[in-house]
Copies of this chain bind each other. A is one copy, B any other.
Amino acid sequence: MEQKIYLQNQAWEEALALMMRELGPRCQPENEPIKVSCALGRITGETVRAQRSSPHYPAAAMDGYAVRARETFGLNERQPRWFQLGSEALSVDTGDPMPKGMDAVVMLEEVLNKTEEAVLLQQAVVPWSNVRAVGEDIVEGEILLPIHHRLRPQDLGALLAGGVTELAVRRKPRVGILPTGDEIRAPGQPLNVGEIVDSNSTVLSALIAEWGGEAKVWPIVADDWDQLENAVLAMEASQDILVIIAGSSQGRDDYTVPLIEKFGRIYAHGMAIKPGKPAMLGEIKGKPVIGIPGYPVSAFLTARLFLRAWIKHELGLPSGTLPVMRAFLNKKVFSGLGSEEFVRVKVGRVGERWVAAPISRGAGVTMSLVRADGILRVPRLQEGFHEGAPVQVELLRPQEELEETLICIGSHDLTLDLMDSYLKMNGRHGALASAHVGSLAGLMALRKGEAHLAGVHLLDPESGEYNRPYLERLLPQRRIALVNLVYRTQGLLVARGNPLKLRTLADLADGRLRFVNRQGGSGTRVLLDYLLAQEGVDKQQILGYDREEFTHLGVAVAIASGSADAGLGIQSAALSLGLDFIPIGEERYDLAIPQEYLADRRIEMLLEVIASPDFQAEVRAMGGYDLRDAGKFMNGPGETQAE
């Protein structure tokens, strides 16, 4: 197999530095002229100087009367004097040129009286008061803007005021994007089994636009040497930077690397990064070629490392730094030595602390990039970070938005995703970020101050009561409110048509049926164990009892894809995936909210949403939910937890 495992394991900074050193000097920025009115967001390609002073004539700075200052000397409230209009005083509006001979303006508000012929003035004014001198704002020849400056709205105003209507900006680097692969289909085309939609070209185009380049997407080419060669050479002829998506891994149909070697040079293939290892850097005829892996997360991250740097370089800008913030890790992050790992994290402010919570690490999980608030880098020669470590997070979302976000850690429920949307409606601007770790872990997160609220549905086997006994046991010192969100029907999820004819929990222990469980500490797991004990079923007899998923949808997916026959979960998850559902019972799902957050306006918004008829209607429509106590404080009216 050796011939196929040829990926290097190179430090990405070194690979990029080598390429920049060798190829960078041959790829210099170019300027183009642009009208000021079209220049928003562009990068200045020169130091821009004013071509005209502003004001370009001495001008009245106020509405009023232009006078000769020396003629006002000696005036005061007890000695006013009439000034003849036309000779001694002339009406001027703000911006009007100063009439010849006049050197000051008396403001309208300071005029004591007025007739057709004259104004009564009562104040002495010094020469040049309320007059804008030539060049007061801008002097001809003055530097208006430095080079390499991103043009903001106010900069355009200063340019026009300084008589500049056209300027030189950096030409946007042209980036050609070539999606490759027999199995890749353009967005909108029907997909057969084995076919994958090309989402990467769209994501990369958007990133390129944000970084100041101009993307052009080539039609998808199959794994065919001639087609690939034609496309790459066509890109080379018209583009400044070449991006080839996929075709740089070690699969059976990879022509990219030999093709680049035929026409140019490979700088590095295989980086010590995770995800993104198959990334490639090369050149063809003096133009940079960047090989981007096909997995969406890998594509996104490697584009940020390599493509961004090249676009910046061709704009004449340093790569600079990405906005970062400091946060504290809510759990240990382990990462193997030898690769720099890019861990996606959720970030939220709980009390005074910013908390970072790692989320899915799969390279194929596009939603992880949507959900992530930032990226935490684990250096190549570091095994990770311990729980509570202060870390630097590169932000994927503006910090103002994060300030508005409620952190919900605990059990998963589909209504939480809906809640996020409702927190953004009707003039609200909240957000709910939920991490699905199970009810018990949610309460632990409250204890450690890492969440504003926790979704919990924990049945106490002794009392048969939900949630409150757990609060008393786990958070005895804290005042925690339990606000009901829903009652929901739990039951067995099975394939459509219930082919194995399951009816009760006892059927799970037949020794052949493949069960899929929820993780320990989840409310569903607690419920399962409680029900199994009640019915006297031995869990050791259940095949797959040890196979754990972290969400209801995870369980549903396992069943829908045929890797398991049954699991315990909520009805809405069954409905989402078109599974059959055998109801077992109803359970109470509450939000546990520490007393000190109840007055937080974000929590107030959340309670407002729970109480709103439109939210409740949409939850009911999902199926399997009862909202009879939605929004009700479950540990007693007006109070929280008994201490």
A interface residues with partner B (beta carbon < 8 Å): 1, 4-5, 36-37, 40, 47, 52-59, 61, 63, 91, 93-97, 103, 108-109, 111, 114, 127-128, 131-149, 152-158, 160-161, 163, 165, 183, 187-188, 191, 193-194, 196-200, 202-207, 209-210, 249-253, 294-296, 300, 316-318, 320-323, 362, 364-367, 369-370, 396, 398-400, 417-418, 420-421, 423-425, 427-429, 431, 553, 556-558, 560-563, 576-577
- Find out whether the CB atom of B133 lies under 8 angstroms from the CB atom of A47: no
- Find out whether the CB atom of B427 lies under 8 angstroms from the CB atom of A158: no
Complex copy number for this chain: 2
- Find out whether the CB atom of A54 lies under 8 angstroms from the CB atom of B400: no
Q: Assuming the A-B contacts A5-B108, A158-B370, A367-B137, are A37 and B95 also in contact, with contact meaning beta carbons closer than 8 angstroms in the complex?
A: no
A12 to chain B, nearest CB (A): 19
- Find out whether the CB atom of A56 lies under 8 angstroms from the CB atom of B300: no
Chain B residues lying within 8 Å of A204, measured Cβ to Cβ, are 153
A456 to chain B, nearest CB (A): 22
- Find out whether the CB atom of A203 lies under 8 angstroms from the CB atom of B156: yes
Q: Assuming the A-B contacts A188-B165, A370-B155, are A323 and B398 also in contact, with contact meaning beta carbons closer than 8 angstroms in the complex?
A: yes
- Find out whether the CB atom of A158 lies under 8 angstroms from the CB atom of B193: no
Residue of B nearest to A46 (CB): B421
A622 to chain B, nearest CB (A): 9
A61 to chain B, nearest CB (A): 7
Residue of B nearest to A131 (CB): B563
A21 to chain B, nearest CB (A): 12
Q: Would you give 28 A-B contacts (Cβ < 8 Å), ordered by A?
A: A1-B108, A4-B108, A40-B206, A53-B557, A57-B193, A93-B249, A94-B294, A97-B194, A103-B563, A128-B563, A136-B364, A136-B557, A137-B365, A139-B553, A139-B556, A142-B417, A142-B553, A142-B576, A143-B417, A145-B370, A148-B425, A156-B202, A157-B200, A160-B197, A161-B366, A316-B425, A318-B428, A318-B429
Chain B residues lying within 8 Å of A561, measured Cβ to Cβ, are 58, 133-135
- In-complex Cβ contact of A366 among B57, B154, B370 (8 A): B154
Q: Assuming the A-B contacts A4-B108, A252-B91, A576-B139, are A183 and B96 also in contact, with contact meaning beta carbons closer than 8 angstroms in the complex?
A: yes
- Find out whether the CB atom of B108 lies under 8 angstroms from the CB atom of A250: yes
Given contacts A37-B187, A135-B561, 13 further A-B contacts (CB under 8 A): A1-B108, A47-B421, A56-B193, A96-B183, A132-B364, A137-B362, A146-B417, A146-B420, A157-B366, A158-B199, A317-B429, A321-B400, A323-B399
A123 to chain B, nearest CB (A): 14
Q: Assuming the A-B contacts A1-B108, A148-B425, are A253 and B557 also in contact, with contact meaning beta carbons closer than 8 angstroms in the complex?
A: no
Chain B residues lying within 8 Å of A197, measured Cβ to Cβ, are 160-161, 163
- How would you classify the secondary structure of chain A's contact residues: helix, strand, loop or mixed? loop
A207 to chain B, nearest CB (A): 5
- Find out whether the CB atom of B424 lies under 8 angstroms from the CB atom of A156: no
- Find out whether the CB atom of A576 lies under 8 angstroms from the CB atom of B140: yes
Chain B residues lying within 8 Å of A152, measured Cβ to Cβ, are 206, 396
Chain B residues lying within 8 Å of A318, measured Cβ to Cβ, are 427-429
- In-complex Cβ contact of A424 among B132, B146, B294, B398 (8 A): B146
A239 to chain B, nearest CB (A): 19
- Find out whether the CB atom of B563 lies under 8 angstroms from the CB atom of A127: yes
- Find out whether the CB atom of B138 lies under 8 angstroms from the CB atom of A206: no
Chain B residues lying within 8 Å of A425, measured Cβ to Cβ, are 147-148, 316
- In-complex Cβ contact of A210 among B37, B144, B153, B366 (8 A): B153
Chain B residues lying within 8 Å of A323, measured Cβ to Cβ, are 398-400
Chain B residues lying within 8 Å of A196, measured Cβ to Cβ, are 55, 95
Bound complex: CA of A326 vs CA of B12, how far in Å? 36
- Find out whether the CB atom of A141 lies under 8 angstroms from the CB atom of B576: yes
- Find out whether the CB atom of A251 lies under 8 angstroms from the CB atom of B94: yes
A293 to chain B, nearest CB (A): 9
- Find out whether the CB atom of A364 lies under 8 angstroms from the CB atom of B61: yes
Bound complex: CA of A144 vs CA of B194, how far in Å? 23
Residue of B nearest to A577 (CB): B139
- Find out whether the CB atom of A424 lies under 8 angstroms from the CB atom of B148: yes
Bound complex: CA of A318 vs CA of B429, how far in Å? 6
Chain B residues lying within 8 Å of A398, measured Cβ to Cβ, are 323
- Find out whether the CB atom of A157 lies under 8 angstroms from the CB atom of B300: yes
Chain B residues lying within 8 Å of A1, measured Cβ to Cβ, are 108-109, 111, 114
- Find out whether the CB atom of A93 lies under 8 angstroms from the CB atom of B253: yes
- In-complex Cβ contact of A96 among B61, B141, B194 (8 A): B194
- Find out whether the CB atom of A400 lies under 8 angstroms from the CB atom of B97: no
Chain B residues lying within 8 Å of A209, measured Cβ to Cβ, are 40
Chain B residues lying within 8 Å of A127, measured Cβ to Cβ, are 563
Residue of B nearest to A324 (CB): B400
Chain B residues lying within 8 Å of A203, measured Cβ to Cβ, are 153-154, 156-157
A548 to chain B, nearest CB (A): 13
Bound complex: CA of A196 vs CA of B97, how far in Å? 10
- Find out whether the CB atom of A320 lies under 8 angstroms from the CB atom of B132: no
A338 to chain B, nearest CB (A): 14
Bound complex: CA of A364 vs CA of B62, how far in Å? 11
Chain B residues lying within 8 Å of A423, measured Cβ to Cβ, are 146
**In this complex, which of A63, A191, A367 has the most chain B Cβ atoms within 10 angstroms of its Cβ?**
A367
Bound complex: CA of A370 vs CA of B144, how far in Å? 8
Bound complex: CA of A200 vs CA of B161, how far in Å? 10
Q: Assuming the A-B contacts A400-B321, A553-B142, A577-B140, are A154 and B421 also in contact, with contact meaning beta carbons closer than 8 angstroms in the complex?
A: no
Chain B residues lying within 8 Å of A97, measured Cβ to Cβ, are 193-194
Residue of B nearest to A110 (CB): B1
- In-complex Cβ contact of A147 among B94, B365, B424, B563 (8 A): B424
Chain B residues lying within 8 Å of A560, measured Cβ to Cβ, are 134-135
- Find out whether the CB atom of B158 lies under 8 angstroms from the CB atom of A558: no
- Find out whether the CB atom of B250 lies under 8 angstroms from the CB atom of A63: yes
- Find out whether the CB atom of A133 lies under 8 angstroms from the CB atom of B400: no
Bound complex: CA of A88 vs CA of B26, how far in Å? 53
Residue of B nearest to A136 (CB): B557
